[in-house]
A = this chain, B = another copy of it.
Amino acid sequence: MVSLKLSSFTHLLSSPSTTALSRRSPVNLPRRHFLHPLTTTSSAKTTAAETKDRVDNSKNRVPDRVITPRSQDFNAWYLDIIAHAELADYGPVRGTMVIRPYGYAIWESIQEYLNVKFKETGHSNMYFPQFIPYSFIEKEASHVEGFSPELALVTIGGGKELEEKLVVRPTSETIVNHMFTQWIHSYRDLPLLINQWANVTRWEMRTKPFVRTLEFLWQEGHTAHATPEEAENEAKQMIDIYTRFSFEEAAIPVIPGRKSKVETFAGACKTYTIEAMMGDKKALQAGTSHNLGQNFSRAFETQFTDENGQREYIWQTSWAVSTRFVGGIIMTHGDDAGLMLPPKIAPIQVVIVPIWKKDDEKMAVLNAALSVKEALKSSGVKVKLDDSDQRTPGWKFNFWEMKGVPLRIEIGPRDVSSGNVVISRRDIPGKQGKVFGISMEPSILEAYVKDKLEEIQSSLLERAIAFRDSNIVDVSTYDDLKAAISQGKWARGPWSASDEDELKVKEETGATIRCFPFEQPQGIKRCLMTGDPAEEVAIFAKSY
């Protein structure tokens, strides 16, 4: 078998910008060899043993697959997980990413949930072309300002120079409006509620797998309404769906809120956002929903005839969640052992590792493992049996822990005799997370497993909430804010100062207003910067 020298991803990709201001500086990412976590040196092999002498995990660490400790270098740790858990790899073009099957399966979990919710709320999927005439992008003033530095342009088609350059869509508001203008005639055609699952391209200079890549996958919803109230309700409904998804499925306790004017989407009146605290306490904007008002409809002359026969511009929204969310899941739950996946979005919820020493034990153990697998599978649990001969149980323990599988079931010869299995939780390391003597009897085992999966799901959310809340500091002065940010924390304080003051905070601290959270404290407040009355608190943080 091939022995490969595996090294860490750490130094191979530059750290992302900590402030949006530095986003434009060009960085060339060096090429690297691919890291193949399934290939190990023979020194990694150990012998399986049962119960007391079952497996000594420390002996099974694959030395050349070690993940940089999270506390030591968060970015290196993140890239190590992406490589070793086989979530993604780099494409041949700078800043592009190949999403590998395990990473893509997480995206599919996200898709499955959201797709159902979108349809339940009346949205239909459709597909718009990705090539947009350059002139479209120029129609909405702030849109072109926001996107023109990031565009990829097709200038040659079928061997010929094109008369008009084509933009590879960075987002679809312009082409959507072009089509809406043809489809919408009267108030009877409204609301028009659509969504597309698509790839988009933004020529980013500093990239990081999942978090910011030249091309990424997302869904983009686009809606048209007859009144501003309807559009506002739609924008809020969609940020609510994202919020519920984050809490209930991804176990990420995002803070939903409104963006400041400075941070509002290029072309929107209002942007709602969900902001997530990553393990390094930086904020990740995990989803946005925009009330576009009439900005695009005025630019594209998208009008309808209302009930009184008057021509009016339509009111619009757009909203999106992307593959960036996968990065958010990694950076919220992962630990030094690797990825840790919430059961509801884990491609594999339970892995079964059969353990045998002698050949005469093998058949009985594998048969028992197979029955357990079938029982769990038929009750709807996503289960994998790792029956490979190539690896020791210890190696498999580490590998599936690193892949973040929530539960592990171990079955050895003694378990077969006693009719029991051993179950280990990914979220509780070592002996504390291990329970012996769970009956193999299908109904008992299924109930136990489902119960534990729910427990893990809740536990991950609770842990993330505790982490989030212990790292948000309430501030009432700019000095407080600076202190909190310099400690790497989030600062929450009353804000009614100017855009200039907001940019000053960014320049001096690296932090931006992540949002004015929907949940606001009661009582009279004074702006932390100016001392003037403030209606709302804002959250400041450094962000991805």
Q: Which residues of A contact B (CB under 8 A)?
A: 1-2, 4, 33-34, 36, 38-39, 89, 91-93, 96-101, 103-105, 107-108, 124-133, 136, 148-159, 165-166, 168, 175, 178-179, 182-183, 185-186, 188-189, 194, 198-199, 201, 203, 205, 214-215, 217, 305, 390
Contact = CB atoms under 8 A, between A and B. Distances in A.
Given A183-B34, A188-B390, A93 B129 contact: yes
Contacts of A2: 185-186, 305
Contacts of A4: 185
B124 A101 contact: yes
Interface SS of A by simple majority: mixed
A43 to B, nearest CB: 18
A149 to B, nearest CB: 6
Given A93-B166, A128-B91, A154 B153 contact: yes
A104 B131 contact: no
Contact of A91 (B129, B152, B168): B129
Nearest to A156: B153
A152 B196 CA distance: 23
Contacts of A186: 1-2, 39
Contacts of A93: 129, 131-133, 166
Given A4-B185, A93-B131, 6 more contacts: A2-B185, A34-B182, A98-B127, A101-B194, A107-B127, A152-B158
A147 to B, nearest CB: 11
22 contacts: A1-B188, A38-B189, A39-B186, A92-B175, A93-B131, A98-B126, A98-B127, A98-B129, A101-B125, A101-B194, A103-B126, A104-B124, A104-B126, A108-B125, A131-B214, A150-B158, A151-B159, A153-B157, A154-B154, A154-B155, A157-B203, A199-B199
A145 B179 CA distance: 36
Nearest to A124: B101
Contacts of A33: 182
Contacts of A124: 101, 104-105
A131, A151, A185, A198 — most chain B CB neighbours (10 Å): A131
Q: Top 4 nearest A-B pairs by Cβ distance?
A: A101-B124, A34-B182, A158-B203, A96-B129
Contacts of A127: 98-99, 104, 107, 217
A12 to B, nearest CB: 14
Contacts of A150: 158
A154, A155, A179, A215 — most chain B CB neighbours (10 Å): A154
B96 A131 contact: yes
Given A129-B98, A198-B199, A156 B152 contact: yes
A105 B124 CA distance: 8
B130 A215 contact: yes
B36 A97 contact: no
A107 B179 CA distance: 20
A198 B103 CA distance: 16
Given A98-B127, A104-B126, A127-B104, A185 B39 contact: yes
A102 to B, nearest CB: 8
A157 B165 CA distance: 12
A92 B182 contact: no
Contacts of A100: 126
B154 A168 contact: yes
A151 B155 contact: no
Nearest to A33: B182
A426 to B, nearest CB: 22
A136 B133 CA distance: 27
Nearest to A39: B185
A71 B98 CA distance: 48
Contacts of A103: 126
A129 B215 contact: yes
A107 B133 CA distance: 26
Contacts of A179: 89, 91, 98
Contacts of A178: 92
A34, A127, A154, A156 — most chain B CB neighbours (10 Å): A127
A220 to B, nearest CB: 14
B205 A158 contact: yes
Contacts of A97: 129
A481 to B, nearest CB: 33
A126 B215 CA distance: 14
